[in-house]
Amino acid sequence: MQQRQLGPFSVSAIGLGCMNLSHAYGVPPAPEQAEALLLAALDAGITLFDTAALYGFGANEELVGRVLAPHRNRITLASKCGMTGVEGKRVIDGRPETLKRTCEDSLRRLRTEVIDLYYLHRWDKQVPIEDSVGALAELVREGKIRSIGLSEVSAATLRRAHAVHPIAALQTEYSLWTRNAEIAVLDACKQLGVAFVAFSPLGRGFLADGLPDMATLAALDGKDIRRAMPRFAADNYAANLDFLAAYRDIAAAAGCTPAQLALAWLFTRGEHVIPIPGTTRLAHLREDVAASRVQLRVETLQQLDALLARLPIAGARYNATTQTEIDTEEFRA
């Protein structure tokens, strides 16, 4: 596995997003299936594992801690605070006292004395970013976390935070079907020496050809978060299937799967970009890992740009309510 730099850590070029082992995409897999996948990822050379207090309202951290604690010295462990489950509801709370309490809970669930990379999962806009990052800086000094990350923030907010304490990584959605990062924050990360961690690099399954038709979309579990996302609304998705058909052809011509094409494209966006696909299936895990060996020709990149220009993705990535909770730059229609 190729390596990339994330703050003080050298990590696998592809990390593992652990969220969907416990959260968000319908019924999670059985515990033994989730455990097998985590260990398979470790054996495949993945060293960056990404979880959060929110995922499964603590269940994902408990899973990761139970399975990976015996291998703690082999991995870079990332988790998140600032957005948690409170009495069964998702709550954004960036107050310093809350972040410190959440960290103690995460350390216990993860069965570790220190978290390598601790993200502010969402910026609580009721709390100055300087105050939230200041609290995380105290956790660094106390030896409870090794480095600080931010999630779903703009270049301007990143710079404000970085002035308080060096930021090791910024995480936001980035893929062929979500390129908002290219407005400003991708370059800001490069300028500041901040790793850019791309979540949902497979377009929430779309770019992996996981939802190939309207029937598959309609069959999504009732609690699947994609049901509330505009791009997966029936009218938008019908239009996006035209893009998908042409995208499949480009992948075939490049000699790789659609998922591998999406990940390989991200590797061309900068040495500081680290995708963290998530999956519940061993076959998909192996497919994703193999993407690190795919080399794309200039002609393939040009074909992808031309396809996006001809068939732009229909629909916003979040609904209006969720959009108010994030701080990322957005393209204007």
| Catalytic residue IDs | 55
Do 319 and 229 touch, CB atoms closer than 8 A?
yes
End-to-end CA distance of the chain: 39
Do 20 and 279 touch, CB atoms closer than 8 A?
yes
Do 79 and 147 touch, CB atoms closer than 8 A?
no
Q: Taking the CA of residue 7 as centre, how many other CA atoms within 13 Å lie in the half-sphere pointing to its CB?
A: 22
**How far from the centroid of its chain's Cα atoms is residue 171's Cα?**
6
Torsion of the alpha carbons at 43, 47, 50 and 53, rounded to the nearest 10: 90
Do 82 and 132 touch, CB atoms closer than 8 A?
yes
Pick the closest to residue 265 from 298, 293, 301 (CA basis).
301
Do 205 and 211 touch, CB atoms closer than 8 A?
yes
